[in-house]
A and B are shown apart, each in its own frame.
Chain A
Amino acid sequence: AAFLPMQVNAAADDAIAAFTGGAEVTDGGVDLVAPEIAENGNTVPIEVSAEGAASIMLIASGNPTPGVATFNFGKLAGAHTASTRIRLAGTQDVVAIAKMADGSFKRASANVKVTIGGCGG
C-alpha cells in the first residue's frame, strides 16, 4: 500500500500548503505511530516525532476539517515528540508534516482503518 498515490483530498492539500508555503516536502525523517485498526474513531492514539523539528503538523485527510493539531517545539523541548488522541471520521490516511530547523519539510503518513467514525456523523 506504501506505493499507492496518497489519498489526500483538496482541503488537506490546502492545509499542507498553508503550513509549508508551497515548499517541497520529502518523505522520511518523521516517525508517525498510529494504530492500524482503530475500533473507535473518537479516540485514536497518535504519536509523532521528528528529530530536529521546529514544529510538526498533524492532518487527518479524510475528516470534514483536515487539521488536527500543530506542535511547536520550544527551546526546552526534549526529544521532539508528542502524543495525543484524535478523532477520525472514517478509514483514512493520517499525515504528519514536520518543519525542520533548517526550513525544509518532511512528511510521514499512516493509514488507519476506523470501525466507528468519530465525528458525530
Chain B
Amino acid sequence: MADNVKPRVKVPRSASAGESVLLKTLISHPMESGQRKDSDGNPIPRSIINRFTCDFNGENVIDATLEPAVSTNPFIEFEAVVPEAGEFVFTWYDDDGSVYTDTKAIAVS
C-alpha cells in the first residue's frame, strides 16, 4: 500500500471551443518496480500505478498503460480537444486495487 498518494493536475481555466489544450498530470507515488531488494536481500514487491485515463464529458482523451519503468511520481503530459465547456476526469489505477481520481472543470470562452 502506497502512502500519501496525491494526484495533481494542471488544466487551463478556459479555452476556445475546439481548441487543443495542454494537460499536465502528476501523482505522488513510489512506483516500487519490484526489481529492488531490501537490506536483507529480499525482493521488495512491486507496487505501481498500472493505468492512467483521462476523460472529458464521458469521451476518452487518453488511456495509458504504465509499467515499472515509469519513474517515481509518474508525470504525464498530453493534449486534449475541448469541444464545449465541461469537466476533465483523471483516474489512476494502483496495483493494490486503489483508484485515485481528480476532476477539473474548464470553461469555453
The B interface is mostly helix, strand or loop, or mixed, namely strand
* In the bound complex, CA of A75 to CA of B80 (Å): 9
Count how many pairs of residues, one from A and one from B, have CB atoms less than 8 Å apart in the complex.
108
- What residues of chain A have their CB less than 8 Å away from a CB belonging to chain B? 42-44, 47, 60, 63-79, 81-88, 118-121
- Counting chain B residues whose Cβ lies within 8 A of the other chain, the interface size class is 20 to 34
Q: Does B109 contact A (CB under 8 A)?
A: no
Q: Does B17 contact A (CB under 8 A)?
A: no
State whether A120 and B70 are in contact (beta carbons under 8 Å apart), knowing that A74-B63, A75-B59 are contacts in the complex: no
* In the bound complex, CA of A71 to CA of B83 (Å): 22
A18 to chain B, nearest CB (A): 12
Contact B62 A77 (CB under 8 A): yes
Contact B69 A70 (CB under 8 A): no
Residues of A close to B13: CB separation below 8 A: none
Contact A65 B69 (CB under 8 A): yes
Residue on B nearest A74 in the bound complex, by CB: B60
